[in-house]
Structure 1
Amino acid sequence: MSRRTGLLIGVGVAALTGALAIYLYLKAVPYQEVIEHGPSPEAQANPYLAAEHFLRKHGINVEHANSLDVLPTLEPHQRSLLLLGERSNMTPRDVDQLMNWTRAGGRLLFVAEALWDDSTGSSGDLLLDRVRLRQLLSKDLKEPDPELIKDPYPKLTKLYLEDEEAPAYLGFDTDFHLEDPLNLVQAWANSAQATHLMQLNHGLGTITVLTDAELWKSDQIDQYDNAWLLWYLSADTDVTLLFNTDHDNLLTLLLRYFPQALVALLALVALWFWRSAVRHGPLQQPAPKARRQLQEHLQASAAFHLRHNGQQQLLQTLQQDVLRRARQLHPGFEQLVVADQWQVLARLTRQPTRTISQALSPRPKQRLSSAEFCRQVTLLQTLRNAL
């Protein structure tokens, strides 16, 4: 190839490359794409993270606690304690401490977590029973007259405030209802059929009870007036948010994150016990095969069958063997009734009918004594040998 030809090929390739680049530049359309990576690990570990940020943004100090151990360190004055976690492990002493803390001026808010049981006169929720409120299922309530209640938003909870023409709309779960049988409550919020928030005074403090706190989790707090309600109940106080009171123990964490290591550790421990176990007495050497007799093999075989099949199976095998021999010696034996079969066997074996009855009658399922079992086997072997 000459130099001129190579130069022409290079110019052609460069021209094509340039033309392709210009074409792609003219046709390419820039765009933006948002890739969702999901909640951050912090948000996954704290379902009320958005609620905490919201309160801080509005000038309210927020602390996060995992147990009631922090209660002695909390000054009741201008302090709100929000119990949003599971409380099944709460003791009567814990309840007394919370009530005394509230009486001294604290604001206590908690979620009712059990239904009222008329048969026991309690709900099992110690804190809810202490404030003498009850939680019921909304479906168990009497249906209101549709002509008397015309609510455009029956699934939303309305909170009415003084000097406000319109209520605040809240996203409570309408499946549950709070009841105040003693008329102790000073404020409440209702949906079309049920009550989902109640507030009452206790000494210098206040107690607020909710049917659920899902409306303040990160995926719902921005809906309706949910965030406003959290601010309204916490205004002019410092907030301690208490949830996730049940912690995974060390074994649970190890099973979750290191299952293979636990299996290996258990195997090593088992091997160590097996290796270091103390043997009681010397090992018994197996008997030499040369000295084993036919009788020994028969005894071992019988013991094996007795251990694995049981007494009943062995006795039934002997009985079937006796009947099989009788059928061979007396044609039509199997068509006879039982009494006639026993008469035929008595004639063939020269044994009394009573002996044959004892040998061939069905045995109870309970285990026989060694003496009774040997006697049965002897009777059956006698009959079989006589046929």
Structure 2
Amino acid sequence: MTAKRILIGACILTCAALVGLFLTFYERYTEERDLGFGPEARRNPFLAAEQYLADIGLLPRQADNISVLQGLSPNTTLYISSSSQVYNSTKAEALINWVEQGGHAIVVAYTGDFDSDAERGENRDWLLEELDVSIEEGHGHFELEETLEQLLGEDAVLTPEQSPADAMREHNRQIDERESEADAKTEPEEEEKPRNPSVDPEDLVTLPTDNGDEIQLYLNASHLLYHPAFDDSNITDGPVFYAKVWRDDTAVPFMQFERGSGVITLLTDATLWQSRRIGHFDHAYFLQLLAGGDEFVFLTRPRFDSLPQLARQYGAEFFIAGALALLAWLLLHGRRFGPLQPAPEVTRRSLLEHISACGHYYWQDDQCEALLRGYRGELLRRLAATDLSATQKHNLCDKLSASTGLDERVLVATLWGKPPSTEESFTEHMRNLQRIEAVL
């Protein structure tokens, strides 16, 4: 047995021993962590309500404009998250006509922040005007309590004397104590958190049901609804049902109107059925009681993702597309065939260089013979020597020799000789023709 086989066998035995030890001492551990709402729940605050209605047999869906009324059947429940979405008298009249045919509209009255009554009057609420309903200030402690509960959790117990900073410090101290107690125990006991927030029973609204039971609601009473029928019993088109938070209130957070065969339910609490509050008290059951028919439409304002959310959602695609575009650009500008060409000259050449370059081009292109033939024919025409005998040519050469100083043989070769075959002879012929032309 060689040393190599011994080494391989030892490695196999070691791996088998490690696997056996892992399987012997391995213990599965499961831990649940609450990471909060997912992306879909953050985009749709009524996701829990939609799932609840779907479980009880209804067909929930979303809409973002009051024009959805044109396609709704009377056997439908329409939830309008803000009465400001009924933005003119025509839409308010259309909504009431649809309710009179048998529809059920659940409308949250718009209680936006206005600096003065004049500003509130400029922003008219057409639906509330049709129902002769006005908005009044209510109890202002709900918002602080709800915000702290959202931050600290449902098990936070808040007192009116505590400031938000004191409540946060107290909550952190309780968390540290629970963690210390859990570390001291060998088997920590799981404590079930209460489903409902800790509120004063006087702040709860109790409503009767058809089967004789009662339901409890925790409504935001920072703004309340008022109708003149509360003080005048002679008004016949007032609300048929309403509920007060406290007995001495002159306005209510919830009321219902009958119009024709349908019902209009008015609320001042826009978060009652949102995902973070629908599980409190009997809010979900209250929604089930109000929902009738086969379809439930949530008419909410359009919600768009913020820039950081879009960046997280499409960041990978953006960088991949950018990397591919950069790679394509590098491939486009990085490819070449053959050696690099010299850089072109940017300076202009002189006139003599231009003439020299043209002459070399004509010579290489065999065009100099035609140039010489045309120049020679023009001189012979001017000398009237196109058709001369030998004696006449001799006499003409004598005259030209006397005036130009050229030899007679040179004159004969220039005027009637063969075309030159070299650059030097061509240049000499052209110079002689120019001397002859100069004496004419």
TM-score (norm 1): 0.52
- Residue 128 of structure 1 corresponds to which residue in structure 2? 128
Cα deviation, residue 22, structure 1:
2.9
| 1:62 to 1:24, Cα distance in 2 relative to 1, 3 A | closer
Mapped partners of 1:218, 1:155: distance in 2: 21
CA contact (8 A) 1:86 1:245 kept: no
Mapped partners of 2:57, 2:11: distance in 1: 67
Q: What secondary structure is seen at the aligned counterpart in 1 of 2:278? A: coil
Cα deviation, residue 13, structure 1:
5.0
Mapped partners of 1:121, 1:43: distance in 2: 33
- Residue 154 of structure 1 corresponds to which residue in structure 2? 202
Which of 275, 283, 287 aligns to 1:218? It is 275
- Residue 256 of structure 2 corresponds to which residue in structure 1? 199
Work out whether 1:67 is the aligned partner of 2:65: yes
CA contact (8 A) 2:205 2:243 kept: yes
Larger radius of gyration: 2
What pairs with 1:1-387 in structure 2 (closer than 5 Å)? 14-34=12-32, 39-76=37-74, 78-85=75-82, 87=84, 90-114=87-111, 124-139=124-139, 153-165=201-213, 167-183=214-230, 184-192=238-246, 195-245=252-302
RMSD of the alignment, in Å? Answer: 3.8
Cα deviation, residue 12, structure 1:
5.3
Unaligned stretches of 5+ residues in structure 1:
142-150, 261-387
Q: Deviations over 1:125-147 (max 9, x none)?
A: 22123212222222389xxxxxx
The percent of aligned pairs where both chains have the same amino acid is 25
Q: Deviations over 1:42-100 (max 9, x none)?
A: 43332222212222221223342221222122233x22221114726711221121122
Cα deviation, residue 227, structure 1:
1.1
Cα deviation, residue 41, structure 1:
4.3
CA contact (8 A) 2:82 2:109 kept: no
Mapped partners of 1:125, 1:242: distance in 2: 17
Mapped partners of 1:178, 1:128: distance in 2: 10
Cα deviation, residue 210, structure 1:
0.5
Mapped partners of 1:185, 1:38: distance in 2: 40
Q: What secondary structure is seen at the aligned counterpart in 2 of 1:124? A: coil
Q: Deviations over 1:250-284 (max 9, x none)?
A: xxx9xx999x9xxxxxxxxxxxxxxxxxxxxxxxx
Cα deviation, residue 16, structure 1:
4.5
Cα deviation, residue 38, structure 1:
5.5
Q: What secondary structure is seen at the aligned counterpart in 2 of 1:174? A: coil
Q: What secondary structure is seen at the aligned counterpart in 1 of 2:128? A: helix
Unaligned stretches of 5+ residues in structure 2:
142-198, 231-237, 319-440
CA contact (8 A) 1:62 1:238 kept: yes
| 1:140 to 1:48, Cα distance in 2 relative to 1, 3 A | closer
CA contact (8 A) 1:86 1:244 kept: no
Mapped partners of 2:220, 2:140: distance in 1: 15
Mapped partners of 1:44, 1:140: distance in 2: 27
| 1:58 to 1:28, Cα distance in 2 relative to 1, 3 A | same
Q: What secondary structure is seen at the aligned counterpart in 1 of 2:269? A: coil
Mapped partners of 1:174, 1:220: distance in 2: 15
CA contact (8 A) 1:114 1:125 kept: no
Cα deviation, residue 211, structure 1:
0.7
| 1:8 to 1:173, Cα distance in 2 relative to 1, 3 A | same
- Matched pairs, number: 241
Cα deviation, residue 160, structure 1:
2.2
Higher alpha-carbon deviation: 97-106 or 113-122: 113-122
Q: What secondary structure is seen at the aligned counterpart in 2 of 1:87? A: helix
Q: What secondary structure is seen at the aligned counterpart in 1 of 2:229? A: coil
Cα deviation, residue 110, structure 1:
0.5
Cα deviation, residue 39, structure 1:
4.3
| 1:17 to 1:63, Cα distance in 2 relative to 1, 3 A | closer
Mapped partners of 1:232, 1:89: distance in 2: 24
- Residue 348 of structure 1 corresponds to which residue in structure 2? none
CA contact (8 A) 2:110 2:268 kept: yes
Q: Deviations over 1:293-314 (max 9, x none)?
A: xxxxxxxxxxxxxxxxxxxxxx
Q: What secondary structure is seen at the aligned counterpart in 2 of 1:158? A: strand
TM-score (norm 2): 0.46
CA contact (8 A) 2:140 2:221 kept: no
Q: What secondary structure is seen at the aligned counterpart in 1 of 2:290? A: helix
Cα deviation, residue 228, structure 1:
1.0
| 1:163 to 1:246, Cα distance in 2 relative to 1, 3 A | closer
Matched letter for residue 204 of structure 1: S
CA contact (8 A) 1:109 1:207 kept: yes
Mapped partners of 1:238, 1:6: distance in 2: 76
Cα deviation, residue 216, structure 1:
1.1
- Residue 326 of structure 1 corresponds to which residue in structure 2? none
Mapped partners of 1:233, 1:38: distance in 2: 29
Cα deviation, residue 198, structure 1:
0.7
Cα deviation, residue 35, structure 1:
6.5
Mapped partners of 1:21, 1:140: distance in 2: 65
| 1:69 to 1:175, Cα distance in 2 relative to 1, 3 A | same
